[in-house]
Amino acid sequence: MARNSDGALVLFSGGQDSATCLAWALSRFDRVETVGFDYGQRHRIELEVRAAFRSAVVKQFPHWATRLGDDHMLDAGIVGQLGASAMTDDIAIEMAENGLPNTFVPGRNLLFFTLAGALAYRRGLRVIVGGMCETDYSGYPDCRDDTLKAQQVALSLGLDRRITIETPLMWLDKAETFALARDLGGDQLLDLIVENTHTCYLGDRSRRHAWGYGCGTCPACQLRSGGWEKFKAEAA
């Protein structure tokens, strides 16, 4: 696969999607850095598994290790000050009156990309990679392709530097995301994603399933488990 000399900054939360995007970027760019955001999320265990995943990639994929650069952790705690959501507060996950799940944190991804854009500028990186998807997702409007295209334009204008936002999972469902991970790094990478990433909104790592750790009932777990079952069925 052709390599890109432009550096990339991956929004790396520690979940399945962002881990797959990290592998995708490492297969394409000569220099890849990662950024995570601490916004008071209930499932902050995802921030703890990030380091384990990065370390495993370095050990198990030496051809990627030389491309993997610094990791950055940014404080985005102001998100929690803007109002309660099931993503940041201990409240039941349910649908809100506006038709969106109450796990939606208004403006979260817009803020993340703004911060990532500023960091990319400082680090001399021109590509930002995010795991947003509007095929198999919870309906968040800041995950939509149109939103991120507009954000790319705004960042490029505001920074006076061409910034490209890449979303390799935008039109993939969860089964196809598992398949992409296998294509990028074989069963070795697939096993890493199952074992060393976290998706569960409740932060539950006490239960191990075939698809990874989680409560098994929250929307994130349901998407991931359903994707795994479809992936395994199609691979059989």
Rounded Cα distance between 109 and 37, Å, is 10
Angle at 168 between CA 165 and CA 169, to 5 degrees: 120
Rounded Cα distance between 138 and 132, Å, is 11
Token pair recorded at residue 208: 């191990």
Q: With contact defined as beta carbons under 8 Å apart, do 129 and 11 qualify?
A: yes
pLDDT (tens digit per residue) in 128-153? 999 999 886 667 788 889 999 999 99
DSSP-derived pairing of the beta strands 8-11 and 32-38: parallel
CA 187 to chain centroid, in Å, comes to 20
Q: With contact defined as beta carbons under 8 Å apart, do 54 and 34 qualify?
A: yes
Closest CA to 14 of 33, 43, 132: 43
Percent share of the chain, pLDDT over 90: 67
pLDDT (tens digit per residue) in 99-119? 555 555 667 888 899 999 999
Q: pLDDT at position 97, please?
A: 59
Q: pLDDT at position 86, please?
A: 47
Q: pLDDT at position 94, please?
A: 47
| H/E element, 129 | strand 127-129
What mean pLDDT value characterizes the chain? 87
Question: Is the pTM higher than 0.75?
Answer: yes
Cα 46 to Cα 139, 146, 184, 201: the distances in Å are 21, 27, 22, 10
Cα 147 to Cα 89, 119, 175: the distances in Å are 26, 20, 24
Q: pLDDT at position 77, please?
A: 76
Q: With contact defined as beta carbons under 8 Å apart, do 167 and 133 qualify?
A: yes
- Listed as ranges, residues in the chain with pLDDT below 50 are 2, 86, 89, 92, 94
Q: pLDDT at position 2, please?
A: 47
